[in-house]
Amino acid sequence: MISERIVNTIRFLRIISAITVVWLFGLFSAAVQADPRPASSIPSSALVQPSELASTLRGPSSPKPLVLQVGFRKLYDQAHILGAEYVGAGGDDQGLGALRERVAKLTKDAPIVIYCGCCPWSHCPNVAEAFSALRDLGFSRVKVLHIPNNFGVDWVEKGHPTEKTP
């Protein structure tokens, strides 16, 4: 009788433990999804400043880097770096999928610049995820445009070349 109670208690504790583990895993997964990699995780050696990129794009050197906007469509449509392509938000799976697809046929040493500028650098949910994805794919010449405030303040209002989606 006593041994049966002990067995039942152990079974009960096992079930509770399993439920707790599943619950904690769910919480952890949610936390991971809610907190995208911060832009500050990008090494400074991988950053390019707006004036430097603008100079490269205006200059006679070729080939020019492929410039990809990894932020949000409504912002891209109003103004983006002259010649930049929109791929999707680096902070979500759909955007990262589009990014992988866009670069699939490029050689690994192709020069690529990614940028977002949706919000202040420390709050950008996109660039670090996109940078990490490209590095994981083996691209060795990936640069991230350092936009301290936002695209409007640090690129458009500085008079660097832009265009809007027709």
Is residue 13 near other proteins by the rule CB under 8 A? no
Residues 43-72 that bind other proteins (CB under 8 A): 72
Question: Across 11-139, where does the E strand assignment appear?
Answer: 47-48, 66-69, 80-81, 85-86, 112-115
The token pair that represents 1 in the structure block: 């009788």
Alpha helices in 35-140 (DSSP H): 50-58, 73-78, 93-103, 127-136
Residues 71-130 that bind other proteins (CB under 8 A): 72-75, 77-79, 82, 89, 91, 117-120, 123, 125
**CB nearer other proteins, residue 58 or residue 135:** 58
Smallest separation, CB 134 to other proteins (Å):
20
Is residue 156 near other proteins by the rule CB under 8 A? yes
The token pair that represents 33 in the structure block: 């999804």
Residues 137, 103 contacting (CB under 8 angstroms): yes
Smallest separation, CB 157 to other proteins (Å):
6
How many CA within 13 A on the CB side of residue 138?
Answer: 6
102, burial (CB in 10 Å: exposed 0-12, middle 13-18, buried 19+): middle
Is residue 161 near other proteins by the rule CB under 8 A? yes
Residues in contact with other proteins, total (CB under 8 A)? 29
**CB nearer other proteins, residue 134 or residue 147:** 147
Which residues in this chain contact other proteins in the complex, by CB under 8 A?
72-75, 77-79, 82, 89, 91, 117-120, 123, 125, 149-153, 155-157, 161-165
